[in-house]
A and B are shown apart, each in its own frame.
Chain A
Amino acid sequence: MSALTESSVARSAKRVKTTTPAPKVAKESPLSRIGAMTVMLVFTLYFLVPIWWLFIAGTKSSSQFTSTNPLWFADFNLFANIGNLVAYRDGVFLKWMLNSALYAGAGALLATLFAGMAGYALAKYRFPGRELLFNIVLGGVLVPATALALPLFLIFSQVSLTNTFWAVFLPSLVSPFGVYLTRIFASASVPDELIEAARLDGAGEVRTFFTVSVKLMFPALVTVFLFQFVAIWNNFFLPLIMLRDETLFPVTLGLYAWNSQVNQIPELRGYVLIGALLSIIPLIILFLLLQRFWRNGLGAGSVK
C-alpha cells in the first residue's frame, strides 16, 4: 500500500516537473497479461478469503459455527447475532465503536492538518535547521509506535492523564510519515510562482496555505488521512497499556479483552467474531469513498 502511494506520488511529481507527453502504451502479449492476472487473482483470494470466512462465521449460530463448513452458509443468523452483540452488557460494543470512530476520525483529521502544515513549511520555507528537522522527523518514521507505548505511559502517569481519553488521543495526532509525504508532495506540486502570486495579491501565509496550497496538496492529505485513520483504528498496544476503564476502550481492545475470556466464557467467541466483522466495515467504507476521491485528485494534479 505504502509503496504504491509513494510511487504514484513520485510519478505525478515527475510529470509536473517535466510535462512529458503521455507515454506510449506498449502492446503486451496475452501471456504476460494472463500471468499478471493470475498473480493478482491469487493475492486477491489470499486477502479476501479470511474476510469471507469472517462474514460466514458471523452469520452462524454458535452451535453451527463448529459443525458446519467454515466457508459456506448454514442457517442465516447474521441479524440475530448482531442483535445479541449490541444487546450484550448494555451495548458496550457500540460504545467501543463510537470511541474508535472518535479516536480515529478526529485524531486522523488533526494529524493530517498538523502533518500537512509541517510538510508544507519544510518544503516551502527556507530556515536554518530545516534539513536537520526533517531528518529528525524521518527518524520518527523508523520508530515503531509499539516501542513508544511504554515510555508514553510513564510520561502520561507523571501528569495523571493515563486512563483518560487524552491518553490515546494525543499520541494519535503525530504522524511523521505524514510530514514526510506532504513535504515531498508539496515541493513537487505547489509551484513557488503560485505562492508568490498569492503573496502579491495580498494573501497572508496562513491564508495562502489554506486557500491555495491545501487544494494542490489534497491528494497527499487524503492519503495521510487514510493512513492515519487506519493506523489509529488498528492501534491496539497503546490503548491496552493506557486504559483501564472499559468505557474508554476502542473496539480493537474491547474485542481483544473478550477474546481473552473465551476459555472461561465460551459464548463470547460469537460476539468477538461478529464484532470483528462489524469493526472492519467503517474501514472498508472509508477506503471505498476516499479512494475514488484520491485518484481524482491525483489525476487533476498531474494535468495542471
Chain B
Amino acid sequence: MRITKRAATVALLTAATVALTGCSAAGGGTTDSADAADCAPADGAVELSFTSWIPGIEEVVDVWNEANPDIQVAGQTGPNGNGGTYANFFNQLEAGNAPDLGQIEYDALPNFRVQDGLVNLASCEGVMDAKADFVDWTWGQVSFNEDDAVYAIPQDSGPMAMFYRADLFEANGIAIPTTWEEYATAAEQVRATGAYITNFSQGDINQFAGLVWQAGGTWFGNDGDNWNVDLTGDESIMVADYWQDLIDRDLVSTVPAWTTEWDNAYNTGAAWTWNSAAWGANSIASGAPDTAGKWSVSASPQWEAGDEASGNWGGSSTAVFTGSEHPYEAAQFALWLNSSSESLTMLNEAANLYPAAVEGLDLPVLKEGVEFYGDQPIYDVFAEASGQVSADFVWGPTMTQTYNDVSDGFKSAVSGNGTLADALATGQTSTVDALKAQSIPVAE
C-alpha cells in the first residue's frame, strides 16, 4: 500500500518488459494464431475462465451460467488493464495459464496481437454475422480493419461530446461553442469572469488522442508488413497547437485529471466544460455533486462549421487468448456479454459502460433523462456521436510506452518547457525506437 503510484508503474513496466522479452524469445514455439483458428464446439460441457476489472461482472456472468449449463464461466476481477492486468495476461500467456477470455481495451489490443496472444475468432460460428450488430468503428478496432479477422468482441465505447455548465454560459451571455474557433473565443469570455473554460489534463493522453481522432488524424497504421507511426501528422499538430495556444494564453487550467483538485474545479464552477466520453457523465456527477442539475451535454465542437465528427476516448473488448481450448464457446459467451440487452443493461448499471453494440445504444436506461443534467436525455447526444467516430484510427503495439513518453512531454509543456507538438515529436522518435527494439517491423 505504501508503494507510490510511480513506483508501482515502474515495477509493472519492468515486469511487462521482462514478460515481453520472454514472449518474443519463446515466440518460435507457439502456433501462429493469425490463421483463423479451428473453431469447433466441444462435445460435452465446458468451463471457461474470464478475467475482467468491472466490479459486478460476476452477476452478469451468473445470468449467463444459469441459462447455459453446458458453458460455465468463472468471472474474476482485478485491477484495471494498465494497473497490472495486462502485465499479468502477458505473464500468463508466457506461462501457458492465461484465462480463456480477458477484457482488453482497444488501445492495448495491437500489443496482444503482435505477441500472438489473441485467437482469431473469424471462423467461429456467428462471429462474422455479428459484425452488423456492432457500431462500425468498434468492429474496426477489433479486426484492425483486416478481412476475415476478429480478434475480440467489442464491449464498450467512449464516443465524445462536450459537457458544459448550461447555467453559467446562460447567465454570462456566452454562446455555446459549436466549433473549436468559437470554443477559443468562449474561452476568453469565460476567463474574463475569472474561471476557466476547461482543464487541459496533462496526464490524460487518451483524451488528447480522442481529440486527434475527431480531427481525422491517425497515429498508427499497418499495411500488413510494416507499422507506420505518425504522431506528428498534420491533424495531430493542429490539435496540439490549438491547445498550446490556449495554455499559453492561460485560458485553460492544467491540473492533473482525476484528482480532488480537479473535482473541486468542477464542483466550484472554476471549470465550465469538459470534452469527454459517455462514461464521463458519472465522473462529473460524483466529482461535482454541488452542481447537480446545472450541466448539459452537446455535440463536440467541430473543426469546420457544419462538420459532424466525433472522437472516442476509451472503450474495451472481450478477447479470447491463445491457448484457450474452447474458442467456440468463449466466442459465444463474448457475443452474448456484449450484445444482449440484458447483459448490457447490467454492465451499464454496474460500471456505466456505454455499449459498442448498435442495439445497445437504444437501451431503455440510455433513453431516460438524467437528473444531474437537468433531465436532459444526454445519451442521445452520445448515440449520435457514436455514429460519427471515424473507423480509420488505429492504435500501436506499444501504447503504454507511447502514452508515457508523450505525457511526460505534455507535463513539461504545461509547465513551460517545450510545447505539446515537441512532446509528440519526442513520442514519435521513442515509439519508433521501441518498435524496433521489440523487432516489430516499422516503416520510416
Contacts and interface: CB of A to CB of B under 8 A. Distances in A.
Contacts of B289: 62-63
B51 interface: yes
A243 B11 CA distance: 17
Contacts of B96: 157
A66 B264 contact: yes
B99 A244 contact: yes
A229 interface: no
Contact of A89 (B8, B56, B84, B351): B56
A70 B261 CA distance: 11
Interface in A210-242: 234, 236-237, 240-241
Contacts of B260: 65-66, 70
A158 B95 CA distance: 8
Contact of B15 (A150, A244, A261, A280): A150
A61 to B, nearest CB: 9
Contact of A264 (B76, B263, B351): B351
Interface string B61-105: 000000000000000111110011001100110111101000000
A264 B105 CA distance: 13
A246 interface: yes
B286 A266 contact: yes
B31 to A, nearest CB: 19
Interface string A262-304: 1111111000000010011000000000000000000000000
Contacts of B263: 66
A164 B205 CA distance: 37
B83 A256 contact: yes
B19 A150 contact: yes
Main secondary structure, interface of A, reads helix
A244 B76 contact: yes
B79 A240 contact: yes
Contacts of A241: 15, 84, 87-88, 91
Contacts of A84: none
A146 B84 CA distance: 14
B263 to A, nearest CB: 5
A265 B351 contact: yes
A135 interface: no
Contacts of A237: 3, 11
Nearest to A258: B55
A244 B51 contact: yes
B347 to A, nearest CB: 11
Contacts of A262: 258
B267 A67 contact: yes
B290 interface: yes
Contacts of B19: 150
Nearest to B292: A63
Contacts of A266: 282-283, 285-287
Given A153-B95, A260-B79, A240 B88 contact: yes
Contacts of B49: 244
Interface string B175-218: 00000000000000000000000000000000000000000000
A170 interface: no
B277 to A, nearest CB: 10
A157 B279 CA distance: 37
B76 A246 contact: yes
Residue of B51, B53, B96, B286 with most partner-chain A CB within 10 A: B286
B437 interface: no
A72 to B, nearest CB: 15
Contacts of B77: 246, 257
B371 to A, nearest CB: 15
Interface string B249-270: 0000000001010011001100
Contacts of A252: 1
B1 A236 contact: yes
Nearest to B18: A150
Given A66-B263, A66-B264, A150-B19, A261 B80 contact: yes
A267 B289 CA distance: 12
Nearest to B95: A157
23 contacts: A62-B286, A63-B290, A66-B287, A67-B267, A149-B15, A154-B95, A157-B95, A162-B92, A162-B95, A234-B2, A236-B3, A237-B3, A244-B49, A244-B99, A246-B76, A252-B1, A256-B1, A257-B78, A257-B79, A261-B53, A265-B55, A266-B282, A266-B286
Nearest 8 CB-CB pairs, A to B? A157-B95, A266-B286, A260-B83, A63-B289, A260-B80, A257-B79, A260-B79, A66-B263
Interface of B: 1-3, 8, 11, 15, 18-19, 49, 51, 53-56, 76-80, 83-84, 87-88, 91-92, 94-97, 99, 258, 260, 263-264, 267-268, 279, 282-283, 285-290, 351-352
